[in-house]
Homo-oligomer: A and B are copies of this chain.
Amino acid sequence: MNVGEVAALAGVTVRTLHHYDRIGLLSPSGRTAAGYRRYSAADLDRLHQVLLYRELGFPLEEVATLLDDPSADPAEHLRRQHRLLRDRLERTRAMVAAVEKEMEARQMGISLTPQERFEVFGEHDPERYEAEVQERWGDTDAYRESSRRAAAYSKEDWVRIKGEGEDLTRRMAEALRAGVAPDSAQGMDLAEEARQQICRWFYDCPPQVHAALGRMYVEDERFTATYEKAAPGLAQWVSTAVQANAARQG
């Protein structure tokens, strides 16, 4: 793809891509004879990561070191991004609540103290902080340890993770064939097992989040196809089981 196409796709300007090329953050993997930049699928992948980290407030140079770190596999980036995004969600929620409180206070003729007003973004140093926490944590042994363990996943444990997942899918398919109802206790137990697997290997996945994932299993045909390959009707079955399990816990 040419710069213009990539820019349009990613929602950035051509100048931005030029800039990323110049500073070595994202250099297209090829050029035409005339010197035109040519971006490959892998380049798009990287651009995606760059934009996510940028949105999270990381300075570009740090983004480069993060993405070039050979000890960090893709899954680790996803986990980190997920964590930071959830932090931001929390913060935004707090700010919305603060504005609503202020409105309510106005209507009732109460005026809030300055401390109250500022506390929602006090200390935070808006976006920066998220990146800094990363940096700080990056220096502690504990984090490095856990991070290294995480990175080690894709080397040897990855097989085990995949195996566990496939094993569970197989047991679900068996249950389906045996006529087990997805919203029965047994069906929900299987769904719960799936949720726990995500928690253990990937990220903290509360029932509500899991329910959203469940919906995706029937809405996105590629996920559907993967389950249908194990057993016809399994996508719908799993989706229902997950929802029922979430409702049971909620």
A contact residues vs B (CB 8 Å cutoff): 9-11, 41, 44-45, 48, 51-52, 54-55, 74-75, 78-79, 81-82, 85-86, 88-89, 92-93, 95-97, 99-110, 114-115, 117-118, 121-126, 161-162, 165, 198, 201-203, 209, 212-213, 216, 220, 222-223, 226
Contact = CB atoms under 8 A, between A and B. Distances in A.
A203 B41 contact: no
Nearest to A97: B212
Listed residue (A85, A110, A165) with the most chain B CB atoms within 10 angstroms of its CB: A85
Contacts of A104: 213, 216, 223
Nearest to A95: B85
Given A48-B117, A122-B11, A86 B78 contact: no
A122 to B, nearest CB: 4
A96 B123 CA distance: 24
Complex A-B, nearest 6 residue pairs according to Cβ-Cβ distance, in ascending order: A11-B122, A44-B114, A85-B96, A110-B222, A11-B123, A82-B99
A85 B105 CA distance: 18
B48 A107 contact: no
Q: How many copies does the complex hold?
A: 2
Contact of A78 (B45, B99, B110): B99
Nearest to A197: B107
A223 B92 contact: no
Given A92-B85, A107-B165, A11 B121 contact: yes
Nearest to A49: B117
B88 A92 contact: yes
Given A48-B117, A108-B223, A223-B108, A103 B9 contact: no
Given A44-B114, A115-B9, A89 B93 contact: yes
B107 A226 contact: no
Nearest to A209: B100
Contact of A122 (B9, B95, B125): B9
A17 B88 CA distance: 25
Given A96-B85, A96-B86, A9 B44 contact: no
7 contacts: A9-B122, A48-B114, A52-B95, A75-B106, A82-B96, A89-B89, A100-B209
